[in-house]
A and B are shown apart, each in its own frame.
Chain A
């Protein structure tokens, strides 16, 4: 049994001098794009280059929550497609992604928030996404551990319940997509850093890497939190992005108390219980941009206070591990997916903030179509970079758990 281990995504191979497409960043979006390029467009001469190891970025650090109850008409269908893809991918990749569709419960702490939830639910239902309003009593029946008494800082008035969402094992998604992409012919090159992007007469010609130069007519930057910085440094294009460290943690394992993902915008915390019994919890974002990925005492205190108010049975429980990753935040809380503008053959997929896990399958799939044909699929069109100068920002900041460096 031991000694026969081979990485699912192949052994380290020579970097070729040219590819039909190069993808910078071995995260969720880069791997999903490579997989769908091969699977749906027969484009196999593709290299994913990754500075560290696949899953090093947000892909391996997120809290694995998936849902499709976004705020706007433009965003909901994309997230719905992504949610519907988990069972399909589990089968097609022949890899258990451990999708636990336990449902998401967004707590509401005022009558105004209940009204906002009513609108959010109407949008979801219009797009065929299951979502209901619950009052405080129904919330208590569903999650007895919640404190619905009126004498906490933000009393619970009700909740928005979204049954089809839940948790997917994030590492499994990285490994499964990598395995699937390589099986179909794509190459994954770890410990390979993109150091420059080459252009000639407004066209992409290739990428320089720490392991040599590659020619390619198509380059996708999907380097997560690092995208905005490298796009500015390598191509002089500025993006409407702020990069912040976002933190998360787990408690010691406990008996089952939470069967759903519970989140609160007012307390600025979310929590769910993992299969091992830990309470996985997070949400706090540093209030100023930084690339540290460090955790802070300030946040640990915030999280302990928040959790022990709405889930008082957690008082005295110990945090076992904590970590941080990067979130690249846009002013309208929606991503930037664009291509062939202002450079032919240059594609970008970034600005996902803390929503980039749940969306990776659908986004990667449509980006693959964009890169293979050169034409932007309708569903991606509204996410172009020029929406900011045209003043067509999206209303995702009105989502119930909104948080950006601008507010």
Chain B
């Protein structure tokens, strides 16, 4: 199943125009009091969700923007942002 993604500037495009940028892990940890462990968590550790996850993409062969979107890793389809829980 081929992937399409919606760039905030260029709109819906072929997935091969983009580069995957990793799971969304929230803001980069503050430099103050940063431990090797928390840095490692931010850089390397993943949840590997089989389902919907929020993730980063880069429109490499287009406008060059970075953006986040939601994708179902089991169907490889971009999905609407899930309703905020709680």
Q: Taking the complex as formed, is B73 at the interface, i.e. its CB lies under 8 A from any CB of chain A?
A: yes
- Nearest CB to that of B25 among chain A residues? A238
Contact B20 A287, beta carbon cutoff 8 Å: yes
Total interface residues on B, using CB and 8 Å? 22
Q: Give Cα A232–Cα B45 distance, bound, in whole angstroms.
A: 10
Residue of A nearest to B45 (CB): A238
Contacts of B48 in A (CB 8 A): 228-229, 232, 239, 241-243, 289, 328
* Pair B2/A238 contact, Cβ less than 8 Å: no
Q: Is A391 an interface residue (CB 8 A)?
A: yes
Range for the number of chain A residues in contact with chain B = 20 to 34
- Interface residues in A183-231 (C-beta closer than 8 Å to B): 226, 228-229
| A310 nearest CB across to chain B (Å) | 24
User: How many angstroms between the C-alpha atoms of A390 and B36 in the bound complex?
Assistant: 7
Q: Which of B41, B44, B47, B73 makes the CB contact (< 8 A) with A290? A: B73
A42 within 8 A of B: no
Known: A289-B48, A298-B2. A389 touches B36 (CB 8 A): yes
- CB under 8 Å from chain A, chain B span 55-86: 73-76
A391 and B15: CB pair below 8 A?
Answer: no
Chain B nearest CB from A331 CB (Å) reads 6
In the bound complex, CA of A291 to CA of B76 (Å): 8
Instruction: Please judge, given known A-B contacts A229-B50, A232-B47, whether A389 and B1 are in contact too, CB under 8 Å.
Output: no
B13 within 8 A of A: no
Complex CA gap A106/B32 in Å reads 47
A229 contacts B19, CB within 8 Å? no
Query: Are the CB atoms of A294 and B1 closer together than 8 Å?
Result: yes
The prevalent SS among residues of A at the interface is loop
* A330 nearest in chain B by CB position: B44
> Is B20 a contact partner of A405 (Cβ separation < 8 A)?
yes
Q: Is B74 within 8 A of A291, CB to CB?
A: yes
A10 within 8 A of B: no
User: A389: which of B16, B40, B46, B49 is its contact (CB, 8 Å)?
Assistant: B40
Residues of A within 8 A of B (CB): 226, 228-229, 232, 238-243, 287-292, 294, 296-298, 328, 331, 388-391, 405
List residues of chain B with CB under 8 Å of any chain A CB.
1-3, 15-16, 19-20, 36-37, 40-41, 44-50, 73-76
In the complex, besides A238-B45, A405-B20, 18 extra interface pairs with C-beta distance below 8 angstroms are: A226-B50, A228-B48, A232-B46, A232-B48, A232-B49, A239-B45, A239-B48, A240-B44, A241-B46, A242-B48, A287-B16, A288-B15, A290-B74, A291-B74, A292-B75, A294-B1, A388-B40, A391-B40
Q: List the 9 shortest-distance A-B pairs measured between CB atoms, nearest first.
A: A240-B44, A238-B45, A288-B20, A228-B48, A389-B40, A229-B48, A389-B37, A290-B76, A291-B50
| Sample (29) of A-B pairs whose CB atoms are under 8 Å apart | A226-B50, A228-B46, A228-B48, A229-B48, A232-B47, A232-B49, A238-B45, A238-B46, A238-B47, A239-B46, A240-B40, A241-B48, A242-B46, A242-B48, A243-B73, A287-B20, A288-B15, A289-B73, A292-B75, A294-B1, A294-B76, A328-B48, A331-B44, A388-B40, A388-B44, A389-B36, A389-B37, A389-B40, A390-B36
